Amino acid sequence: MKRSLILSILLLPAMLSVQAQETVQDLSKKATKGYLLKAENVAGNYTITYKIPGDKKKNEIFYETYTFDQQIKFLKNQEVTEPKESADQHPERTVSGYYATVGGCSSFDILSMKLKFNKYTDLQAWDYKKQRYITKKSISTETIKARNDDGKYEGYASFINNTDQSLFVLGGQESKQNKKATDFFIIQFNSSSEIIAKPVDITGGQSLVYSTQLKNGDIALVFAPKKGTADLTAYTYLRYTGKGQLVDKVGFKSPSTNLLIVEVTEEEGSVFFCGTSTKSKDAYGEVFDDYAGAILNPCFKEANNKYDFNWEKKATEKMDSFHLLKFTGNKLDFATTALVSDFKGKFKTSPTDKKADAYKGSKFSVQEFMVTPNGEYLIAGQLNGKTNLGMGNPVTTYEDIVCFHFDKQGQLKAQYGVEKLNSDKKSEIYPVKQSFILGKDGKSLYWLILEVKGFEGYADFLAAYAGYKSYFPRYFPRIAKLDTQSSTVNSFTILGNEKYYLTQSFNPIADLNEHSLVFVGSDEDYKKLWVNKYVFQ
């Protein structure tokens, strides 16, 4: 084993202290042929564990551990083993469940939104090498015709209750009172193969604006009135349990007649919606299509289904306003509007980022939402586009990085800009990862970006062994300090100088008392172990 290289990076924040410490350690040949399994803080030291090849004839699993002290100084590495759990201790088992889809694979129903219920039964076996259950084979998959299914339901959303695998399906059918409208229903499938449908708690002709499943399994729905309604801003927010029981209902005045919701998040007991809109005064259904992104047609390749394709196409148009809405229980706390033209005047970049651009109304996805210690809001994400990598259907791209700052009342305070470092196709098909970290003083905020670089080749040793070549992402951290009082952002520090990368499934080791994160990765060739500890002052 070669001697490790220890580097310390001295930064100068408000306190003169070492904010980042870095160590590079050569990996053994066995570790380079294995894969990073876990990284953890054990008894005050940091232990990095690799799964390595071992004697196949032995009933043991082989690992190699690398141990570092609190200052990221390398202490030792050693091989360890543990007994395998045999298949005798884990007999084969069958698992069954239900799921809902729309349409199908024939030319007659590829564009259909007709609702279908499906039952699957899989045989699972204990994997001796992976030491867990895996699906050995599909025993059966069948579409089930409910006894009382009249075939008139279209599917708009489907969610599974993780506690009992029950289904919550949002369906619709042509209204009996108004043929140009849709009657929406909450549909569930019982053990007697019967559909149980009850009307959604709305009245009149409505368009579905958004649907999503919240952290606790509840379902959030937003509806907008159709053309001809007296007040086109009279929207409705509904929250149901996974069993279809109404929890919250809020009739609210939308900040736009055509509010397009693009993201939802939950913080501190409240539900936040991020949305955009055009200058049009027309009803939502005249400007956009019903949102149906939460149900799948397994053979429709350009989106989740036909309705989702139509929604996506219109949602990618340039918008004129950005909106932030906050709901707490049965109350709308605020619904605000920021004109896209206002972002340029409130655009702030770090001293070294001159190529970043102000938000111009493009479609974006949210990657992080934070309520700051003083009750303001930070929203970080990326603009979205489409590209074709020569593999058939277009895929979503993740382009310019955006960060919006709103005050306590939801009014736009600033936009922070930073240049995205890798803009080639194979990098932009993967989103960066973003988060906000609170500093030791309880006031300072840091903006952490895990910048992504796409590679073409073998994602790991196992992929190379199997001959599976593909595109895959690797990440490296960038960190800057945010001053939310003056609405400024400092220069970004790149940890590892773009020479070392984190794996796709990496989670840094967090120390809440020290307010530090330990990043673990390797060089491009997987021959060196890289460990970096960053303390958020």
As beta bridge partners, residue 436 has: 447
The total number of structural domains in the chain stands at: 2
Residue that terminates a domain, selected from 36, 68, 83: 83
Helix (H, G, I), strand (E, B) or coil at 49: strand
Give burial (CB, 10 Å; 0-12/13-18/19+) of 429.
Answer: middle
85 pLDDT band, cuts 50/70/90, is low
- Residue 201: pLDDT above 80? yes
User: Which one has a higher pLDDT value, 88 or 250?
Assistant: 250
**Residue 513 has what pLDDT?**
87
**Residue 427 has what pLDDT?**
94
Mean pLDDT of 269-297: 97
CB atoms near residue 437 (< 10 Å): 19
DSSP 416-474: EEE--S--SHHHHTS--EEEEEE-TTSS-EEEEEEEEEEEEE-SSHHHHHHT--EEEEE
Which helix (H) or strand (E) covers residue 308, if one does? helix 306-315
Q: What is the pTM of this model?
A: 0.86
- Residue 418: pLDDT above 80? yes
CB atoms near residue 386 (< 10 Å): 12
Would residue 24 count as lying in a domain?
Answer: yes
Measure the CA–CA gap between 508 and 63, rounded to whole angstroms: 20
- Residue 361: pLDDT above 90? yes
Name which of 12-16, 359-363, 478-482 the model is least confident about: 12-16
- Residue 88: pLDDT above 70? no
Would residue 187 count as lying in a domain?
Answer: no
Residue that terminates a domain, selected from 58, 83, 108: 83
Measure the CA–CA gap between 232 and 255, rounded to whole angstroms: 10
**Residue 97 has what pLDDT?**
82
As beta bridge partners, residue 26 has: 528
Q: Which of 299, 289, 322, 312 is nearest to 386 (CA)?
A: 312
Would residue 29 count as lying in a domain?
Answer: yes
Domain region containing 348: 342-500
**Residue 113 has what pLDDT?**
96
User: Which one has a higher pLDDT value, 529 or 176?
Assistant: 529
Residue type, 343: F
The strand ranges marked E within 320-411 are 321-328, 331-339, 347-349, 364-371, 377-387, 395-406
Measure the CA–CA gap between 117 and 142, rounded to whole angstroms: 9
- Give residue-wise pLDDT tens across range 243-267: 999 999 999 999 999 999 999 999 9
The mean pLDDT of the chain is: 89
18 pLDDT band, cuts 50/70/90, is low
Would residue 526 count as lying in a domain?
Answer: no
Would residue 203 count as lying in a domain?
Answer: no
Measure the CA–CA gap between 13 and 444, rounded to whole angstroms: 11
Would residue 55 count as lying in a domain?
Answer: yes
User: Which one has a higher pLDDT value, 359 or 505?
Assistant: 359
462 pLDDT band, cuts 50/70/90, is low
What order of strands is seen across the sheet that includes strand 347-349? 347-349, 412-418, 395-406, 377-387, 364-371
Instruction: Write a three-state SS string for 210-231.
Output: EEEECCCCCEEEEEEECCCCCC
**Residue 75 has what pLDDT?**
97
Would residue 228 count as lying in a domain?
Answer: no
Q: What are 308's two structure tokens?
A: 């989702």
460 pLDDT band, cuts 50/70/90, is low
- Residue 385: pLDDT above 80? yes
Would residue 210 count as lying in a domain?
Answer: no
Mean pLDDT of 379-403: 86
Q: Let me know the angle formed at the C-alpha of 403 by 399 and 405, rounded to the nearest 5 degrees.
A: 160
Residue that terminates a domain, selected from 83, 100, 118: 83
